[in-house]
Structure 1
Amino acid sequence: MKISARNVFEGRISALSSGPVSAEVEVTTTGGDTLVSTITQGSVSALGLVVGKPVVAVVKASSVMVMTDGSGVKLSARNCLTGTVKKLAVGPISAEVVIALPGGAEIFASVTRDATTELGLHEGSPATAVIKASSVIIGSRD
């Protein structure tokens, strides 16, 4: 599979909660990280999703927010993955932030140049990737 999204995580469905219209899909990645996605019941059915099924979780870099100090902050975003800034490529308007997660995975975020300054981002600094569950796309290979 070739795709333009920078964040593609292989994993297995570790939990599946269904509602009348949508479902919450929890994916545990091969690196041990957990991502939660909200998708329609139609997608659950079309993809044949069940607990234990191998899937890919896809997130565009532009859907990843970066936070540096979450002490005392409560967010509605279900996915907060904390790691260390591995790479920071700053352009005249935007920047790419690569956050290395403890399990070995990397997550890419596209943020403004001003945000890197305001957050004090630099290689080696702690950072958290924040992703809304509605921004996590679930794919199946079969």
Structure 2
Amino acid sequence: MKISARNMLKGKIVGIKKGATTAHVSLEVNGTIVMASITNDAVDELKLTVGMEAAAIVKASDILIAVED
């Protein structure tokens, strides 16, 4: 697989919670949990299961930091 995104976080799926249409997939990356919201269909098509190796791929042009005044 080739992809243009350069921010790839490899880890292990530690949780999958399906909702009505969207699933929250939790991926443990070096002790930190990264969560992705994807469709239930995507979970099924990718055959995602807890314990399997996967990667979170982040594609963003900007990351913003905010604090309260």
Q: Same fold (TM over 0.5)?
A: yes
Gapped runs of 5+ residues in structure 1? Answer: 1-72
1:123 is aligned, of 50, 54, 67, to 50
| Structure with higher RCO (Cα < 8 A, 6+ apart) | 2
The two structures have a TM-score, normalised by structure 1, of 0.44
Instruction: After TM superposition, give the deviation of residue 91 of structure 1 in Å.
Output: 1.6
Equivalent residue for 2:6?
78
- Greater Rg, structure 1 or structure 2? 1
What is the CA-CA distance between 1:122 and the residue it aligns to?
Answer: 1.0
Once the two structures are TM-superposed, the CA of residue 137 in structure 1 deviates from its matched residue by 1.2
Aligned counterparts of 1:97 and 1:91: Cα–Cα separation in 2: 11
Count residues with an aligned counterpart.
67
Deviation above 3 Å: which 4+ runs of structure 1?
none
Once the two structures are aligned, what percentage of the paired residues are identical? 39
SS in 1 for 2:44: helix
TM-score by length of 2: 0.86
RMSD after superposition: 1.5
Structure 2 residue ranges without an equivalent (≥5)? none
